[in-house]
Amino acid sequence: MQLLISDANILIDLEEGELVEHMFGLPYLFSIPDILFVEELEERHEYLIGLGLRLHELSGAAVMYSMQIVSKYHKTSRNDCFALALAAQEKCPLLTGDKPLRIAAESEAIVVMGTIWLVEQMVKQRLIDTSQARLAFEKMKGCGRRLPWGVAEAKLKSIDISRV
């Protein structure tokens, strides 16, 4: 199965949209840097480990690389740079909706996907339908999550049309 490295905001988006359990039904392995989990998620989101979230350690070289990224891309947080460095270490895509991190990852030749892509995958895998996806996006929006809502709706409409 394909490994995908996530930052914290993706997991929070999906939690707010009540889609976390569906995400772990996708045919992917999900991981996050162990330090990012401890510093940002462990206190209130430890249950993610039981659902299948894996924690990975950064190698020494990846830690050094993350420090280079922090100094190169000033708008990215240290923990976000750990996620980018882990994606580079594992040679796999990064899941993020954070614009500065997305820009940094793309500049570093890391494939990036986000919340909308994950929701689309859930619909395509028939874990949820487009009505559930729309409701999830509404919940995310209501909780103040920041996504390109027009893009999300357009993606759902294109899925609806392709199924006709």
pLDDT in tens, 52-102: 999 999 999 999 999 999 999 989 999 999 999 999 999 999 999 899 999
Label residue 164 by pLDDT band (50, 70, 90): very low
- Range(s) for CATH 3.40.50.1010 in the chain? 2-114
**pLDDT higher than threshold 90 for residue 42:** no
At the second CATH level, the architecture of 2-114 is: 3-Layer(aba) Sandwich (3.40)
Q: How many CB atoms lie within 10 A of CB 39?
A: 14
Distance CA 11, CA 146 (A): 13
Distance of CA 42 to the CA centre of its chain: 16
pLDDT digits (tens, 9 = 90+) for 143-156: 989 889 889 888 88
**pLDDT higher than threshold 70 for residue 161:** no
Label residue 162 by pLDDT band (50, 70, 90): low
Compute the residue count for the chain.
164
Q: What is the pTM of this model?
A: 0.90
For range 112-127, the mean pLDDT? 95
